[in-house]
Structures are given as structure tokens and as C-alpha cells.
Amino acid sequence: MPTAVDRSEVLRLLAEDDAQLVEVLPQGEYDEEHLDGAIHLPLKSLSPHTAQVLDRGRPVIVYCWDGL
């Protein structure tokens, strides 16, 4: 179930290694500007198969930069 978290909670979860940071940027954008430690799962290729790299026992924080 999705849960909204604020920046301080994201930082806490990542600092305690409790969560997985996932960026869904296209490959070129990920190569240019991804966050350190992020797992790359491009949104257009996201599927149950590609998501198998995630640990189902840990929270997942999904991040995408959109310059709109």
C-alpha cells in the first residue's frame, strides 16, 4: 500500500538502510543525474520481472525528476 512520506522520513529510512531508493528515469537521464545508491528501474520497462531486484521485505521509495 503506497504511503506518502516527507523528506525527513526519506532521509531517515535511507540513513538507517531500511528502504530502497528506486529511480524510474529513462536511461539517459539516469546516467546524467541519478541519486547515489538508487536502483534504476525505468518506468517504461517496469514489470513484475524487472522489479524482482527489489527486496520485498523492505520499503521502496520511488523517485523521478520531472522538470515540468
DSSP collapsed to 3 states, the chain: CCCCCCHHHHHHHHHCCCCEEEECCCHHHHHHHCCCCCEECCHHHCCCCHHHHCCCCCCEEEECCCCC
Q: What is the CATH number of domain 7-63?
A: 3.40.250.10
User: What value does the mean pLDDT take over residues 13-41?
Assistant: 88
Q: Where are the domains of the chain?
A: 7-63
pLDDT band at 32 (very low <50, low <70, confident <90, very high): confident
**pLDDT greater than 90 at residue 2:** no
Average of per-residue pLDDT values in the chain: 86
**pLDDT single digits (tens) 47-67:** 999 999 999 999 999 877 665
pTM, two decimal places: 0.77
Which region holds residue 2: left if phi is over 0, alpha if psi is between -120 and 50, else beta?
beta
Under the banding of pLDDT at 50, 70 and 90, the label for residue 68 is: very low
